[in-house]
Amino acid sequence: MESVLQTLGALPWWAYILLFLALLAFRDIFLQRAHTITHNFPIVGHLRYWLESIGPEMRQYFVANNREELPFNRIERGWIYASAKKENNYEGFGTDRDIYAHQHIFVKNAMIGYQLPSNHINQKDPYFLPCAKVIGAYNKRKKPFRPASVINVSAMSFGSLSAAAVESMNHGVRLSGAYHNTGEGGLSPYHKKGGDVVFHFGTGYFGVRTPDGNFSLEKMKQLVEKNPSIKAIEIKLSQGAKPGKGGVLPGAKITKEIAEIRHVEMGKDVLSPATHKAFRNIPELLQLIESIAEATGLPVGIKGAIGKLDQWQELADLMKETGKGPDFITVDGGEGGTGAAPPSFADHVSLPWTYGFSSLYRLFLERGLTERIVFIGSGKLGFPAKAAMAFAMGVDVINVAREAMMSIGCIQAQICHTNRCPAGVATQSKWLQSGINVPLKSERLAQYFKSFRKEFLEITHAAGYEHPCQFTMEDIQVNVDDDYLSSDLKSVYGYQKTAVPFTSLNEFYNCIHLGGKYQ
Ligand SMILES: Cc1cc2nc3c(=O)[nH]c(=O)nc-3n(C[C@H](O)[C@H](O)[C@H](O)COP(=O)(O)O)c2cc1C
């Protein structure tokens, strides 16, 4: 033994490298059968796997041009990062976009824009931009709610996001007057930092479930009673990235904390089925909405990605017939994000936002129901010009998920499903999330929302309006083809949105149902 150690000690440094490579080659050829490439090309085969693993970063940093990447290109990400840090978010020298490209949108500016009167609330607060409609007003819910911000945090649960990320977002919405949608994972302590909350549940009924996995109205009622920050309830029918796809929360991932928040047992796999147990058809869905609204006093809405329209038609007909229905409808686009989804779903199931929303809105418009509903849009809408398009089409409020993640440091590594998020945003690793400075990131989310609202107001004023709810389909032009180059939204989608009753932003400031901490 001593002589072996002596021989090893006498070896030069390069001999160790050779020895290591020889052992690696031996292992590649004789000890592993999982990888053909490393078996056939020992040692160098590893390079392929390594290069493949760092490929996305290489392309993102060095190869891709400013407008090339998806889901969000460098210019879009840069605008969010700069806005969140209150840095210079302008671009110099003019646009680098091909403004004749298919689907490019233009906001039509007025000859002379809207001028703020001296006593206008935006003179004092250039970020004040609440929703023009009150959620739950039509259905006379006991506690109607006017979101104090037109941009809000979309459904993302504690579980898919880290505790530090959820906490940063909740402080951030508190600071910016927005609301925070809980996502499917229940109401965690990190959602209780003072921001307005929209409680969201899906087929797993996390946080409001019976031991056998059904929906518990009693638990829902108690949750709302204990948590006055909950301002509305959203029933998830589907989301754009994976409509109709259930999920499994592996027992191994269920910590004591998650078990308590979600009302599930520790150590046992938990299934989120593909469909709901609490209702099987549209009349039962309507019934559920009414019982939750009745029991809690809160506005209740539904979230869905749009594909076939027949059941939506049935819902609209029933709403007309009964005078009841959801207080809000969140329409998610097929381009929407997720913590994890099979590519076949993410890429192909459900329509992109503009197609889905326009067909759905038209359906409610034809039945004279649009005034009763607050329409919420999500699907890469967290940019002022895209928001202008969405408002022109009939949206009243925007929800953002990935844009909110980016504002607190997400670098679009696209590995949310691996628990290895390098930015600590979409991971449960204590080490990775310890890099998140919660007070700083809260400020960033708040600042992104404020910068968004300020720029959105500026675009609105340029178009001659005081509030974006005044945008019409004729105010936005979209490139449709080469010969008939562009057309307004009204001609492209074949409807004109219902005018939203609007008096003044000053009036909204004094509204008793206004969320946030304005009063
Ligand atoms: C990490 C992550 C988790 C999500 N979790 C949920 C969820 O629990 N329920 C849901 O309806 N949508 C969920 N979504 C979808 C978003 O709420 C949103 O509808 C979609 O990402 C589109 O918005 P965006 O383009 O601004 O990201 C999630 C998205 C992400 C990125």
Dihedral sign for Cα 364, 370, 372, 373, please: positive
Dihedral Cα 385, 390, 394, 395, nearest 10 deg: -100
State CA 297 to chain mean position distance: 26
CA separation for the pair 145, 511 (Å, rounded): 10
Please, what is the angle between helix 438-462 and helix 384-393, to 10°? 60
Digit-coded pLDDT (tens) for 232-290: 999 999 999 999 988 777 677 678 888 899 988 887 877 789 999 999 999 999 999 99
CA separation for the pair 23, 169 (Å, rounded): 49
Instruction: Output the six-digit token pair for 97.
Output: 């976009």
Q: What is the CB < 6 Å shell around ligand 1? A: 154-157, 160-161, 183-184, 236, 239-240, 303, 332, 336-339, 378-380, 382, 400-403, 416, 426
Amino acid present at 215: F
Give pLDDT, residue 483.
65
In the reported structure, the alpha carbon of residue 337 is separated from the centroid of ligand 1 by a whole-number distance in angstroms of 5
Cross-strand bridge partners of residue 377: 331, 398
Amino acid present at 353: W
In the reported structure, the alpha carbon of residue 446 is separated from the centroid of ligand 1 by a whole-number distance in angstroms of 19
- Tell me the pTM: 0.93
CB atoms within 10 A of CB 8: 11
| Residue-level pLDDT, tens digit, the chain, 519 residues | 788 888 878 889 999 999 999 999 999 999 998 888 899 999 999 998 888 888 878 888 888 888 888 999 999 999 999 999 999 999 889 998 899 988 899 999 999 999 999 999 999 999 999 999 999 999 999 999 999 999 999 999 998 999 999 999 999 999 999 999 999 999 999 999 999 999 999 999 999 999 999 999 999 999 999 999 999 999 999 999 999 988 777 677 678 888 899 988 887 877 789 999 999 999 999 999 999 999 999 999 999 999 999 999 999 999 999 999 999 999 999 999 998 889 999 999 999 999 999 999 999 999 999 999 999 999 999 999 999 999 999 999 999 999 999 999 999 999 998 889 999 999 989 999 999 999 999 999 999 999 999 999 999 999 999 999 999 999 999 998 766 778 899 999 999 999 999 999 999 999 999 999 886
In the reported structure, the alpha carbon of residue 313 is separated from the centroid of ligand 1 by a whole-number distance in angstroms of 25
CA separation for the pair 94, 92 (Å, rounded): 6
Beta-carbon contacts of 87 under 8 Å, excluding residues fewer than 6 positions away, are 81
Let me know: does 239 contact 336? Beta carbons within 8 Å: yes
Residue whose CA is at the smallest distance from ligand 1 atom 12: 155
Give the strand pairing for 151-153 and 247-249: unpaired
Beta-carbon contacts of 391 under 8 Å, excluding residues fewer than 6 positions away, are 468, 469, 471
In the block, tokens 């202008």 appear at 388
CB atoms within 10 A of CB 277: 14
State CA 301 to chain mean position distance: 16
Instruction: Output the six-digit token pair for 220.
Output: 């829902």
Of 401, 403, 423, 419, residue with least CA distance to 411: 423
Beta-carbon contacts of 335 under 8 Å, excluding residues fewer than 6 positions away, are 71, 240, 352, 353, 379, 380
The minimum-distance atom of ligand 1 relative to the CA of 380 is 25
Residue whose CA is at the smallest distance from ligand 1 atom 23: 379
Cross-strand bridge partners of residue 159: none
Give pLDDT, residue 80.
97
In the reported structure, the alpha carbon of residue 152 is separated from the centroid of ligand 1 by a whole-number distance in angstroms of 12
What is the separation, in whole angstroms, between the first and last Cα of the chain? Answer: 80
Give pLDDT, residue 57.
80
Residue 438 backbone dihedrals phi, psi, to 5 degrees = -55, -50
In the reported structure, the alpha carbon of residue 336 is separated from the centroid of ligand 1 by a whole-number distance in angstroms of 7
Residues present in the chain in total: 519
CA separation for the pair 177, 127 (Å, rounded): 10
Report whether the peptide linkage leading into residue 12 is cis, meaning its omega lies within 30 degrees of zero: no
Let me know: does 204 contact 228? Beta carbons within 8 Å: no
The SS3 of residue 165 is: helix
The SS3 of residue 249 is: strand
Cross-strand bridge partners of residue 440: none
Give pLDDT, residue 366.
97
Digit-coded pLDDT (tens) for 308-338: 999 999 999 999 999 999 999 999 999 999 9
Digit-coded pLDDT (tens) for 32-57: 988 888 999 999 999 988 888 888 78
377-380-386 Cα angle (round to 5): 75
